[in-house]
Amino acid sequence: MDLGLGGKTVIVTGGASNIGRAISLTFAKEGSNVVVADWDDVQAQKVTDEIKAMGGKVLTIKTDVTDWEQAQNMVNKALSEFGQVDILVNSVGGTFDQYFMEEPREKWSRTINMNLWGMINCTRAVLDHMIQRKSGVVVSIGSDAGRVGEFKEGIYSACKAGVIALSKSLARELGRNGIRFNVVCPGLTPPKVQEIGEKSHWQQQLATFTPEVLEKAAKAYPLRKVGKPGDTANAVVFLASDCAGYITGQTLSVSGGYTMI
């Protein structure tokens, strides 16, 4: 199936590690021009090298998505290099489980900045260009936590619910401009060591993903397995493609049936 992504330009925020990395590589395989936007420039360069080895066109931009000016700079550099931006994938996100009553306010702020403000900044930064062209796709990584409210993930759940609601609102507002917005909600997707950078939040959790822990976690899923980065990447690439041209304002769980929503 031809997804019609050849020659299109995609920005993938958090595009250097785990799910973001898989998304970057999958778009590259489809012949897209890939902008790897990540604050971990060392890991981003590794992904860039992988894409170049495939013969793909790629640009790395060091970006902290919580900073509005850096989000604008990201889009401007992508436009300067490739002339247009067809797709934005908001892939930055993460949390560390903790009871709401025990979480310090500083952690609330970090979680909100990374999971909600980052998505807002990058989406707003790219929209003027997409509106002018009357074409564009924004796919954001959500979470089933935002659909059901996950245990020990209160603020994170609120942020991901915000990502889902904002995407629906913008789908209604900007559909007339030919812009589509959708959300993909992954299940637990533990990375391999070589798939993440030193600055990734996953570094602090790798040691906890023992075979025993993952086996126990898998039992919570109807399919009895945890996710792989490619599972989410495939869904994102489909929603960004011409094949999904009549799909907007939707939230797709790629989580092994965890929520059954």
- Residue 59, strand partner residues: 35
Paired sense of beta strands 58-62 and 87-90, if any: unpaired
CA distances from 240 to 50, 86, 129, 153 (A): 22, 9, 17, 28
Catalytic, 221? Answer no
For the chain, the residue count is 261
Check 156, 221, 246, 258 and give the catalytic one: 156
Q: Which has the closest alpha carbon to 17: 157, 179, 168, 189?
A: 189
Structure tokens at 231: 């599972």
Q: Which residues are catalytic?
A: 156
